Structure 1
Amino acid sequence: MTETSDTPPTAGQEQEQGPRRSRLQLLMRYLPLVAPVLLWVVPGWVLLHAGQRWPLPVAAAGTALFVLGLVAMPVAMARGHGRRQQDAAAVVGDTLLGGIWVLFTWSVLLGALLRPALAAGGVGDSQDRARLVTWAVLGVSAVLLAWGFAEARRVPRVRRVEVPLERLGSGLDGTRVVLITDTHYGPLDRARWSARVCETVNTLEADLVCHTGDIADGTADRRRAQATPLGTVKASRGRVYVTGNHEYYSEAQGWVDLMDELGWEPLRNRHLVLEGGGDSLVVAGVDDVTAESSGLEGHGAHLAGALSGADPDHPVLLLAHQPKFVDRAAAHGIDLQLSGHTHGGQIWPFHYLVRLDQPAVAGLSRHGARTHLYTSRGTGFWGPPFRVFAPSEITLLVLRSTRAASSGG
């Protein structure tokens, strides 16, 4: 057993702890600067300077390209996503970011795995093996980026999921809920894509359509043309929306007002009730958890407020942008939470990093005594126009009553 003490640290201990805290603070401060350097330096070294012995013009030209990328990417990202909001620069910066992430990933993997495998198989000399690794990395990356671009730009496939809810009455068994989220209308004009997504949603004969935030990157006035097709979405019981974190980078109230104008009902810490066959379902929504630090008056995630006045015996469907809100949902006995935010990682293997911040990356999971969480991989994409091993989705959730099942209904 470890003993604890309330004795204040000595001067020597304070001196020891001080440098430790300073080093940690220094690391966190400079990580955003170090990460881009690693993203460009590692693949540059693996492809050009790890024993390939390319002719001098090849090595020099390749090195110059990596240096140019290292300089151009942060400059373009700053111009595109900073104060200037230049869409063309954002497209360049985002594309470079996605491309170098894929190149970095496969440089590390194939550099670590393929070279020893070739050596064990007696393939060529060290130079031959190094060059084979280079061509393999370039080939795999090119294929994945081309495929990932097509995946990001296509209309998402429909994913059908049945969700059993213990408290759902048999009168609402089979309720069809369509979830779209993280549309991220942005620098690449996707007005036609948006219209086709809405057409697909309308084929699903939804009772309820939900959008769980991150509509766009940019203000409502700037992205209005891309968002307008959302007004054509049809649902027999209603269309509901909650804010995501990206709304709070881009005048969130403007997006709330636009969705209201388009016929969607913003569930800002409140609820509505769906009824059918003598049974009821509470549909509640909360602002994104980042709303509290946004400085916008009246914005914040307040689950108690969202459930105020609701019958505690009725099942609750909760819309919350980020999966990590499920801790609060489970504590309140919510039956089903719908979320987005993660994009399923968007570009493999980024989902491992997402998992450090969120309790789920994609799909249906169980939390607490009765709370289900469904995390969508998102309908659109953020930033880099690629999706690699993380396809987008339009989700059709069919709610099932376990009461109906047990009675043979």
Structure 2
Amino acid sequence: MRNEDMTTDRRGEAVDTPPRRSRGRWRRTAIVSAILLLLFGVPWWTLLLAGTAWPTPVVVAGTALFAVAFVALPAMMVVGRGRRRPDWLSATADALLGVAWVLFVWSVLGHVLRLALFLAGVDDPVRGRAVAVTVVAVVVVLLVWGYAEAMRVPRIKSVDIGIAGLGHGLDGLRVAMITDTHYGPIDRARWSAAVVERVNDLAADVVCHVGDIADGTVDQRLDQAGPLASVAASARVYVTGNHEYFSEAQGWLDYMESIGWDALHNRHIVVERGGDRLVVAGVDDATAKASGVHGHGANLEAALAGADGALPVLLLAHQPKQVAHAARAGVDLQISGHTHGGQIWPFNLLVRLEQPVVHGLSRHGDKTQLYTSRGTGFWGPPFRVFAPSEITLLTLRRT
């Protein structure tokens, strides 16, 4: 190894020095830069250069706009997620990211139209301009619609789930599920209150919040999270998602306990109705242990410790991939969020690379079922495209 990559410790022994970390930062910077070049470069070429023959002032102005966005996006995301977290800057960066993603996707798809026009004998610049105008029109429509979808109070999605061995008294038990509310830089306090009102209209026996409650600390997002105190149910339970570990996971657990929810930090409660009982357990998010937060880390064995093994089990676990542990433990039903259903198509295809399910009801092993919600709120870009939000009403049925 070269001398500049080595130094000595107090005992005179050779140890690695920061240049190795510096090389890692350069690699990450190169990867991010390549992604940004694709994200902005493909739309730039499609809209301005691909046979369009626009007047020079149009090309120059458009190029300048793309260049500003290329520089501004990473800068705003870094500053907007810094220690002081200026919300307006973070919200602007999130919106720009969403616009860039949708524009990139439909610029790529625009070349399918370009090929069709070529086969139909349409020449440039008519062909190039037709593609550019169509891409812009589709993107504008999708962004307007996607914003409305993201900001509206979610519709109710009702799902019946049969569980073997469910007691007669629990047949028809109603479980309302919200997840991924992501209270963040856009103030959605009124939205939060409307969500709670809609949940209360369901008259559920159990209400679950399955993580990613907010992006930020309790103090930062208290106005938006406050309406959760008004949720009405015999049992209200909550588990952490991965985003809690970006801010203060224990703070959110303590807050939910303070407003009367059961924070299922690797533990369980027992719900009883009509003389029959159901174990409702919860585990920390899959990222909790690696976060370094003391005492945190998904532990299903601890969550089920002391539970009657003859009782059916409903498990809250933020990420669908945690179902592998649930299936080995013989859990009857796991409910999860995290995926947002992809949130902005076709991101669902990328989500599927990491998670076993993107949304809906699925079976894992001989016994375990998993319901994955598309999420109640949104993260980052305030758009939902072909991935509607939901408040889920699960009705448990005896089979």
How many angstroms does 1:29 deviate by?
6.5
Deviation track 1:232-289 (CA, whole Å, cap 9, x = no partner) reads: 1111x21000000100111111111111111111011111111223321100000111
Q: Which residue does the alignment assign to 1:207? A: 205
Q: Which residue, 215, 220, 223 being the options, matches 1:222?
A: 220
Alpha-carbon distance in 2 for matches of 1:33, 1:146: 28
Deviation track 1:135-155 (CA, whole Å, cap 9, x = no partner) reads: 000000000000000000000
Alpha-carbon distance in 1 for matches of 2:362, 2:287: 23
Q: Which residue does the alignment assign to 1:48? A: 48
Q: Which residue does the alignment assign to 1:119? A: 118
Deviation track 1:289-328 (CA, whole Å, cap 9, x = no partner) reads: 1111122221111000000011111110000000000000
Alpha-carbon distance in 1 for matches of 2:59, 2:32: 28
1:336 aligned onto 2:333: yes
Tell me the amino acid that sits aligned with residue 44 of structure 2.
G
Q: Which residue, 169, 172, 190 being the options, matches 1:171?
A: 169
Tell me the amino acid that sits aligned with residue 331 of structure 1.
R
Alpha-carbon distance in 2 for matches of 1:25, 1:336: 42
Tell me the amino acid that sits aligned with residue 348 of structure 1.
W
Tell me the amino acid that sits aligned with residue 78 of structure 1.
V
1:274 counterpart SS class: strand
How many angstroms does 1:121 deviate by?
2.0
Gap runs ≥5 in structure 2: 1-22
Alpha-carbon distance in 2 for matches of 1:257, 1:298: 14
Structure 1 residues 128-207: aligned runs within 5 Å: 128-207=126-205
Structure 1 residues 8-407: aligned runs within 5 Å: 30-111=30-111, 113-123=112-122, 125-235=123-233, 237-402=234-399
Deviation track 1:140-195 (CA, whole Å, cap 9, x = no partner) reads: 00000000000000000000000011121222000000000000000000000000
Gap runs ≥5 in structure 1: 1-22, 403-409
Mean alpha-carbon deviation: is it higher for 270-279 or for 41-50?
270-279
Q: Does the CA contact (< 8 Å) of 2:271 and 2:278 recur in 1?
A: yes
1:137 counterpart SS class: helix
How many angstroms does 1:84 deviate by?
3.3
How many angstroms does 1:329 deviate by?
0.3
Alpha-carbon distance in 2 for matches of 1:185, 1:70: 27
1:297 counterpart SS class: coil
Alpha-carbon distance in 1 for matches of 2:314, 2:284: 15
Q: Which residue does the alignment assign to 1:9? A: none
Tell me the amino acid that sits aligned with residue 203 of structure 1.
D
Alpha-carbon distance in 1 for matches of 2:346, 2:394: 27
How many angstroms does 1:26 deviate by?
8.3
Alpha-carbon distance in 2 for matches of 1:28, 1:344: 27
Tell me the amino acid that sits aligned with residue 167 of structure 1.
G
Q: Which residue does the alignment assign to 1:16? A: none
Tell me the amino acid that sits aligned with residue 281 of structure 2.
A
Go from structure 1 to structure 2 and tell me whether the alpha carbon gap of 1:400 and 1:308 turns closer, same or farther (over 3 Å shift).
same
Go from structure 1 to structure 2 and tell me whether the alpha carbon gap of 1:376 and 1:50 turns closer, same or farther (over 3 Å shift).
same
Alpha-carbon distance in 2 for matches of 1:373, 1:24: 38
Deviation track 1:17-74 (CA, whole Å, cap 9, x = no partner) reads: xxxxxx9998766322211121001110111011111000000000100001000111
Mean alpha-carbon deviation: is it higher for 374-383 or for 270-279?
270-279
Tell me the amino acid that sits aligned with residue 114 of structure 1.
L
Alpha-carbon distance in 1 for matches of 2:361, 2:239: 20
Tell me the amino acid that sits aligned with residue 87 of structure 1.
D
Alpha-carbon distance in 1 for matches of 2:357, 2:279: 24
1:292 counterpart SS class: coil
How many angstroms does 1:127 deviate by?
1.2
Q: Which residue does the alignment assign to 1:20? A: none
Mean alpha-carbon deviation: is it higher for 381-390 or for 278-287?
278-287
2:118 counterpart SS class: helix
Percent identity at matched positions?
63
How many angstroms does 1:82 deviate by?
2.6
The count of aligned residue pairs is: 377
1:289 counterpart SS class: coil
1:372 counterpart SS class: strand
1:290 counterpart SS class: coil
Alpha-carbon distance in 1 for matches of 2:202, 2:91: 33
Alpha-carbon distance in 2 for matches of 1:333, 1:160: 25
Q: Does the CA contact (< 8 Å) of 2:235 and 2:271 recur in 1?
A: no
Alpha-carbon distance in 1 for matches of 2:262, 2:47: 52
Alpha-carbon distance in 2 for matches of 1:280, 1:30: 55
Alpha-carbon distance in 1 for matches of 2:25, 2:187: 40
Alpha-carbon distance in 1 for matches of 2:368, 2:35: 37
Alpha-carbon distance in 1 for matches of 2:33, 2:285: 28
Tell me the amino acid that sits aligned with residue 99 of structure 1.
V
